[in-house]
Structure 1
Amino acid sequence: MATRPPGTRGDVLRVRDLTKRFGDRVAVDSVSFHVAPGETYGLLGPNGAGKTTAIRMVCGLARPDAGEVVIAGERVSRSAVRAKALVGYVPQEVALYPDLSARENLNFFGRLYRLGGKPLRRRVDEVLELTGLADRAGERVESFSGGMRRRLNIGAALLHQPTLLVLDEPTVGVDPQSRHAIMDSVRAFGAAGMAILYTTHYMEEAERLCDRVGIIDHGKLIAEGTRRELVSRLGERDRVALTVDGDATAFAAECGRLPGVAAVDTTTEAGHSQVSLVVSQGRSALPALLEAAERSGATVRSAEVIEPDLEAVFLHLTGTALRE
C-alpha cells in the first residue's frame, strides 16, 4: 500500500501531533500517523516507548496534552460517544470474567454495546466461530489457556463490528499455535476491509502483518513506511545465495556484469559451489541470474533471497537492538 500524506480524505484514523506528558516525562511526543480502510498499521517499539499511551489516547481513554485524533470524521475525546463507538479496543491485559463462560462473557459485553435479542445472539455465534471457540462456548474462561483467552478478548472487541480495531500487544504471553491463530485472524480482518492499529515489540509480527509500520522510541515516531520503504531509506540491499553445479567462476563473472549487482563472492562446500550476491532487488533479479547461469554452463540447485529486516532498520535508527 502506497504511503499517503496524513489527513488524506477517506482515512479511517487520523492522528495529528499527539502529545502526552506525565510530570516532566514526555511519554508521547508530537506523534502523527493515519490508517486507511483495510490497512493494518503497526506501531513498533520496545516496552516503554509510548505505544500503549498513544493508543489509549486514540481510544479516548486518556486525554492528550496536545494534538487530535479523528476516527471516520469524528473527533475523539473522553466524552465523544460516537467516536468511541467506532472502535474495538483489545487491551494488553485480558479483560474477561473468568467465572463466566465464553458465551456469557460475549453476551455481557454485547449488552454494553447496546446489542440485544436475536441480533446479539447471532453476533455472539459469529464471533465464537471467528475466534475458533464455538466448541468451547459453554465453558468457563478460567479453564481456558492463555491463547484462548486472548482470542476471546479479541472477539469481545468485534461484537459491534467496529470501523477501527485497536490491538495492544495481543500475542504477549501466548503459545506459538495461538500466536499464529491470532495473526491469521488479524490478516483476515484487514482483508475484509477493517482498519487495524496494531502495537507490538515483535519484529516478525510487524513484518508479517502490517502494510505500514511506524517505529516509535522514547515517545517519538522516528520513521514510518512500508517494510521496503523503511529498508530502502537506509540504502540496504538484498543478498542472494545460489547453490550451483558447474563452472561457478564463469557464472559469478556473468552475474557481476548484471545491472543492480553490487558484489559477488564464490565459495565451495561439500562438492557444491555457492555464489553469493549483493543486489538492489533480489527477487526481481532472479530471472536474470538464471539466464546468466545458463549462459555460463552452470546449474542452479537452490536460490535464497535474504532481505534486510526491520531489526536492521531499528538498529540503524536508534543505535540499539529492540529492547524487551
Structure 2
Amino acid sequence: MDHIIEIKEVLKKYEDFTAVDHLNLNIKKGSFFGLLGPNGAGKTTLIKMLVGLLRPNSGDIFIKNQKMTRDNVFLKTKMGIVPQHINLDKELSVKENLIFSAKLYKLKRDPQEKRVEELLAFSELKPIENKLSKNLSGGMQRKLMIVKALINDPEIIFLDEPTVGIDVNTRRKIWDMLKGMKDMGKTIILTTHYIEEAEYLCDQIALMDKGKIFHLDTSKHLKSNLGTFTVEYFNDAKVTEYKYFQSIEDAKQYTHALCGNYILRDTNLEDVFYNFTNRKVR
C-alpha cells in the first residue's frame, strides 16, 4: 500500500518543553494506525500538526503527497476529526448537528439528506435523532461526534481519545463503529492510552513517549518480540517483577524457583509498553 501520510523530522517545542522530538513516521493508506502512550507523550500535539492546527518548529508533513499547512484547504476537506473534547452544539438535536455539519461542507440538499440518513443508520442513532445533544449520555455524544466527522466522507479520520470517560459497553459499540469505518477503506489514526483499545482495533501500533516513537509494529509482533508468556510475581522487596518467555515450558520452569504467589499469563501490550518505558499507561 502507498503511504498516505509522511512525517519527516518534525519538531514541536513550547519554550523549553519538547512535545514532539524530530519524529519520522509513514502511515499506509487504508490502515488503522494507533498512537499509544501516556498523557504528555506528544500524541495530541502530533495530531494537531497533522490536521493543520499547529505548525511544526521544523520538519515537514506530507498528506496525499501534498505538504500540510494551515492554509491547505484541499487536504482539510479530505479529513474527519474527532477531538478529545465534546464539540457538539448542545442546543441542536442529533439530526440537526449532522445537518449543520453538512451545511458547513456545503453539501447540496439531496446529497445532504441522504448522507445524514446513512450516518444515522450506521451509528444506530436514528431512534434518538430528535433528542437534543445536551441530553445524550456521554457515550451517545461520542458516537455522534464520530459520525459528525464522517459527514464529508473523508479519506482520513483522526480520533483523539474517542472513548475517554465512557462505560465499557458503549466503548465496545464504538469499537464496532470504528471497525466498520476501516471496512469502508478509510485511513484511521487513533490516539489512546487505553491499551486494550489499540490492541483490538489497530493494524499497526506506535508506542510513543516524551515526543518520540520508540517502537512501531503490529500488536502481535510487539508482544512476541518481548515474549509470548509473562510470569508476574512479588520479589522479596514486595515489588512486582515481570519475566518474559517465548515458550510456556520455559515460563513454567521459571516458576518452580519462586517461593510466593505468581501469575503465568499471555503477554499483553501493557507489558510491552511498561518494559520499554518502565512506567504503566494510565
Fold agreement, TM-score > 0.5 = yes
Asked whether 1:238 is paired with 2:229, we answer yes
Structure 1: runs of 5 or more not aligned: 1-8, 241-258, 267-275, 277-304
Q: Report the 3-state secondary structure (helix = DSSP H, G, I; strand = E; otherwise coil) of the residue aligned with 2:213.
A: strand
Residue in structure 1 matched with residue 74 of structure 2 by the alignment: 82
Residue in structure 2 matched with residue 316 of structure 1 by the alignment: 275
Asked whether 1:211 is paired with 2:203, we answer yes
Check conservation: 2:12, 2:58, Cα contact below 8 A. Answer: yes
Shift of the alpha carbon at 1:227? 1.2
Q: Aligned partners of 1:265 and 1:118: how far apart in 2?
A: 64
Shift of the alpha carbon at 1:128? 1.0
Matched residue type, 1:315: Y
Shift of the alpha carbon at 1:176? 1.6
Check conservation: 1:35, 1:196, Cα contact below 8 A. Answer: no
Q: Which has the larger radius of gyration?
A: 1
Residue in structure 2 matched with residue 197 of structure 1 by the alignment: 189
Q: Aligned partners of 2:272 and 2:23: how far apart in 1?
A: 19
Q: Aligned partners of 1:146 and 1:260: how far apart in 2?
A: 43
Q: Aligned partners of 1:264 and 1:102: how far apart in 2?
A: 53
Check conservation: 2:229, 2:267, Cα contact below 8 A. Answer: yes
Asked whether 1:182 is paired with 2:174, we answer yes
Asked whether 1:129 is paired with 2:88, we answer no
Residue in structure 2 matched with residue 71 of structure 1 by the alignment: 63
Provide the aligned C-alpha RMSD in A.
Answer: 2.2
Residue in structure 1 matched with residue 107 of structure 2 by the alignment: 115
- Please give the per-residue CA displacement for 1:135-181, whole angstroms capped at 9, x wherever unaligned: 11111111110000000001111011111010000000112221111
Q: Aligned partners of 2:148 and 2:247: how far apart in 1?
A: 50
- Note the 1:1-324 alignment, pairs <5 A: 10-234=2-226, 236-238=227-229, 262-263=249-250, 265=252, 306-322=265-281, 324=282
Check conservation: 1:75, 1:83, Cα contact below 8 A. Answer: no
Matched residue type, 1:309: N
Shift of the alpha carbon at 1:66? 1.4
Shift of the alpha carbon at 1:191? 2.0
Check conservation: 2:207, 2:273, Cα contact below 8 A. Answer: yes
Check conservation: 2:95, 2:116, Cα contact below 8 A. Answer: yes
Alpha carbons of structure 1 residues 29 and 120: separation in structure 2 relative to 1, 3 Å: same
Residue in structure 2 matched with residue 272 of structure 1 by the alignment: none
Matched residue type, 2:138: G
Q: Report the 3-state secondary structure (helix = DSSP H, G, I; strand = E; otherwise coil) of the residue aligned with 1:12.
A: strand
Residue in structure 2 matched with residue 296 of structure 1 by the alignment: none
Identity %: 37
- Please give the per-residue CA displacement for 1:185-212, whole angstroms capped at 9, x wherever unaligned: 1111112211100000011001101111
Check conservation: 1:71, 1:86, Cα contact below 8 A. Answer: no
Check conservation: 2:229, 2:247, Cα contact below 8 A. Answer: no
How many matched pairs?
A: 260
- Please give the per-residue CA displacement for 1:38-61, whole angstroms capped at 9, x wherever unaligned: 211000001111110000000011
Residue in structure 2 matched with residue 251 of structure 1 by the alignment: none
Point out which structure has higher relative CO (alpha carbons under 8 A, 6+ apart).
2
Check conservation: 1:12, 1:163, Cα contact below 8 A. Answer: no
Q: Report the 3-state secondary structure (helix = DSSP H, G, I; strand = E; otherwise coil) of the residue aligned with 1:68.
A: strand
Q: Report the 3-state secondary structure (helix = DSSP H, G, I; strand = E; otherwise coil) of the residue aligned with 1:161.
A: coil
Q: Aligned partners of 1:233 and 1:17: how far apart in 2?
A: 27
Q: Structure 1 segments of 4 or more deviating over 4 A?
A: 259-262
Q: Aligned partners of 1:237 and 1:10: how far apart in 2?
A: 31
Q: Aligned partners of 1:183 and 1:264: how far apart in 2?
A: 33
Residue in structure 2 matched with residue 293 of structure 1 by the alignment: none
Residue in structure 1 matched with residue 242 of structure 2 by the alignment: none
Alpha carbons of structure 1 residues 147 and 261: separation in structure 2 relative to 1, 3 Å: closer
Check conservation: 1:74, 1:82, Cα contact below 8 A. Answer: no
Residue in structure 2 matched with residue 297 of structure 1 by the alignment: none
Q: Aligned partners of 2:68 and 2:199: how far apart in 1?
A: 29
Residue in structure 1 matched with residue 236 of structure 2 by the alignment: none
